[in-house]
Amino acid sequence: MKHFLNKQIFRPADQLNILFCSGLAVLTIFYADRIEAWPYLLLIYSSLIFFQVVLCRLGKMGSLLRHTRDIVFPLVSILICFDTLGLIVHNVNPQDIDHTLIQLDYRLFGLHPTLYVQIYMTPLVSDLLQTAYSTYYFLPVALGIVLKMKNSKEDFDKALFFVMLCFYLSYAGYILWPALGPRYAMPHMYETEITGLLVSEPIQNLLNLLEGVKRDAFPSGHTGIALTVLYLAFKYSRRLFWVILVPVILLIIATVMCRYHYVVDVLGGILLAVATVVLGELYYTLLKNHGNTIQQDKGQQAGIS
């Protein structure tokens, strides 16, 4: 496996994608007696691994293949892996933890935050927050485009690894701690429906169509990804950081006010971002030190010869 994932051909993000898809494949095989669609899932994960390997080995042959490897395929992998969670999570871990999350929210605040904030959800506020919430899908892409335009391959590759790491850590969290979220777990407790002026209902309908019921409330991937992208923007593109700062703040507020997440989900998302940054920086530090060691060994061998 070490030789197969040669770092001269496979970047850390490529290696991560192959390892995560392999992990999902192993999980699918282990729970094949519970997962009716296991042959389909194995085909999906095997295909992702195959195309990742092909793109890495052919990625230097042209700009189209290189851009496909750098931007298109990571997006496809993230979206497909997320979509397959609907066939895995409830079969692997059928016990939802919404009741526990609701209790934690109440113990922390002495009330149910998602119920309390409904008095502030006017149609105008709803449109604003739903729009901010949907920026989640564009933040990583915007970061990638900015770094591509800066023509900084090292920064782009590192940012891609961080973003994919955050996504895949959140997916692992959904499998370990499945939760539906307030909009599905406690709709009977709300006194009002969320209504908007222009965009709230179309955005909600589109998100429901795209995301479905994946039991993906804890940790809040929206919070984790948004904060991770904000960290990377601060590090590599200060202008982008200031452009997305307010949308990210509104996005995090929207997770609760628009009933997608409990407050403890958001706290989990903050921890997710911290874990992503810590693990990502640690990995790159080890990778750099390992590379320096190899160079020193080569230098010593050259001196001896």
Q: Give pLDDT tens digits for 191-217.
A: 888 887 888 888 877 777 766 667 888
**Which DSSP symbol is given to 220?**
-
Residue 83, CA distances (Å) to 10, 130, 215 in order? 25, 22, 11
- Long-range contacts at 108-115 (CB < 8 A, ≥ 24 apart): 108/263, 108/264, 109/263, 112/186, 112/189, 113/256, 113/262, 113/263, 114/182, 114/186, 114/256, 114/257, 114/259, 114/262, 114/263, 115/186, 115/189, 115/190, 115/191
- Taken in order 131, 132, 136, 138, the sign of the CA dihedral is positive
Straight-line distance from the first to the last Cα atom of the chain, in angstroms, rounded to the nearest whole number = 31
| Spatial distance between the Cα atoms of 150 and 243, rounded to a whole number of angstroms | 17
Classify residue 235 as exposed, middle or buried by CB count within 10 Å of its CB (0-12, 13-18, 19+).
Answer: middle
In this structure, of 102-106, 186-190, 280-284, the range with the lowest mean pLDDT score is 186-190
Structure confidence by residue, pLDDT tens digits, 246-294: 999 999 999 999 999 999 999 999 999 999 999 999 998 887 775 555 4
Of residues 190 and 289, the one with the higher pLDDT is 190
Answer whether 161's CB lies under 8 Å from 16's CB: yes
Q: What is the pLDDT of residue 208?
A: 72
